[in-house]
Amino acid sequence: MTNKKDIEKLQLDKILSLLTEFSQGNFNTRAEVIDIDSNLNIVTKSLNMLGEELGHFREQTKTQNIFLQNIVGSIDEVVYAWHIHQDQISVGKFEFISEQCLEIFGYSNIQVQTNPDLWIKGIHPDDNLVYEDGYKKLVTEKNVELLYRFKHPQKEGYRWIADRIVAKADANGRISHLYGSARDVTKQQEDKIELETKNEFISRMVTSSDQFFYIVALNPNDTFENHFTYLSWQIEKIQGSTVEAMKKSRTGWIDLVHPDDLKALFRDNRRMFSKGKPTTRIYRVKHAIRDEYIWLEDYVVPVKDKFGNITELYGSVRDINARMLGDLERDRLNEELNHRYNELMQFNYIVSHNLRSPIANIMGLSTILNNGVAEDEAKQMTQFLLESAERMDSQLRDLNTILSSKSAINSKKEVVNIKDLIDAICYTLAKDISDTSAKLEVTIEPEAAEMLTIKTYLHSIFFNLLSNAVKYRMVGRVPVIHISVINEGGHTIITVQDNGMGIDLVANKKTIFGMYTRFDKTKKGTGLGLFMVKTQVESLGGEINVVSTVGTGTTFKITL
């Protein structure tokens, strides 16, 4: 019968054989446990358990390696581990490099591992310094991202490479390994360079332009939150405001727009938002330094988001002040020329007809008297001569009055108190007002109580309108005359309304302000009143409009 020592010796041989199998990677080998009371059984059981664990660990490691290989193989980057020899980047070897090396660098991972210089020497000469500086930074920063060009042997030109590197130091603090991932960013870099080139081109265009450009971000819930996100410097040259000040202001630009242009500007904005198309807006804004309004042309393009909502406005603004002032002056001169032509025709008519008649009478009567007539007839003819001379003198005086009204440019302006002026005219017309029991209702806004103007002209305008309102009253009706003076949009608006006979504007529209125009031959007058009113209003730079209904009354509206 085998003794215990022989059995233990046999068991010990089995344990040594098991360890030999484990050392060769055969973790599935097991040793039989003997049926004796011995410490070797504990060792055998422990080794059998260790074999199971090692086998399980190897399977896990294999699974993880496959998983890692699948991850590395699925990304479009070269993953690598570079062993550095004594801190010298040019001396070392790749311990690992993924297969994407062939696609990105043009060399297989085997080629690069065999000849590491292929990587270093492929870097563009101008970028060698970038790589070297990046390596130096690793000493302190431990990780860097480099951007350099690499000469791909199968592709034309250089490829842009983005290389993220992490350094690992040994126990002595020296860099021993570089772990990195490199990817081809040629397309992104070329797009970036193209964009930078375009931006530089646009920047040069903006800088050299005589316009200023802007971008406005819109808030659909609160228009007061609309604000400039971009403004070019030319705004200071054109309008005088600084870029910083205008960006901080929420309503600053609208506040600068001329009050008379706001309605048209808002209308253009509504049209632009409803149609979603670019539009050109022309309006005046207050110059920040010169304290005057200037004309601008504003071309604006609405920008929509993916839902079709307008979220931004891109625009360009140029100064058209000189052009607009020139156009306005041209229109004014054309209108003035047309007005002067019409006056010349009227003057010609007066000279050729009105003055011709008394002159012809004087010449004819003089010829008869020269030939000799009876004393009674001579007295009668002398009386006719006197009447013709007086009529001619009256018409010459009228012409002199009309011509003198053209000299507004040489007349001195002064501050006129409107109430005092009206009171003085009412005093002059006191008898006519009293005789007709006329009622005057005068309303003057505090802002319009005074105005800088030619006093004699304004007096003549009020006098003619008030006297006409009394003179051409409706029979059987107490004359009521409303006078209103207000300030509106920087202009003085004068309204004179009566309840008199009225004027047939259909029949007299073209002649209402004509020279020697009279609508009621039963009333005494020269027919120059309304002509003089219009002439003097226009000499003051204003305009006059009339609304009238026969039997109801007439309203004159003057804007100065």
Rounded to whole angstroms, how far apart are CA atoms 154 and 131? 23
Angle (CA) 348 354 356, round 5°: 85
Q: Compute the residue count for the chain.
A: 560
Cα→Cα distances 547→87, 533, 554, Å: 100, 15, 6
Q: Measured between alpha carbons, how far is residue 503 from residues 514, 535, 549 in Å?
A: 14, 20, 6
Q: How confident is the model at residue 319, as a pLDDT?
A: 93
For residues 302 and 317, give the distance between their C-alpha atoms in angstroms, rounded to a whole number.
15
Fill in the DSSP letter of residue 34: P
Q: What is the pLDDT of residue 481?
A: 93
Distance, CA of 66 to CA of 63 (rounded, Å):
5
Q: Which residue ranges of the chain lie beneath pLDDT 50?
A: 1, 353, 408-410
Determine the pLDDT at residue 385: 74
> Which residues partner with 285 through β-bridges?
257, 294
* Nearest alpha-carbon partner for 286 in 262, 253, 316: 253
- Distance (Å) of CA 215 to CA 177, 229, 288, 403: 51, 6, 20, 55
Q: How far apart are CA 218 and CA 444, in angstroms?
A: 43
Tell me the C-alpha distance between 464 and 337, whole Å: 26
Of 250, 191, 185, give the one whose Cα is nearest residue 224: 250
Query: Using only C-alpha atoms, what is the Rg of the chain?
Result: 52
Q: Strand, helix or coil at 431?
A: helix
**375-404 and 529-539 helices cross at what angle (nearest 10)?**
30
Distance CA 262, CA 235 (A): 20
Among residues 99, 78, 96, 105, the alpha carbon closest in space to that of 160 is found at: 105
pLDDT in tens, 228-268: 888 888 999 999 999 888 888 767 788 899 999 999 999 99
Distance CA 360, CA 369 (A): 14
Rounded to whole angstroms, what are the CA distances from 52 to 13, 62, 65, 131, 272? 20, 15, 20, 49, 79
Segment 514-542, tens digit of pLDDT: 665 565 555 555 556 788 888 888 888 88
- Per-residue pLDDT, 155: 87
The residue whose two tokens read 């000799």 is 372
Tokens 């060792």 locate to: 43
Alpha-carbon distance 243 to 230, whole Å? 9
Q: Which pLDDT score, from 0 to 100, does residue 1 have?
A: 45
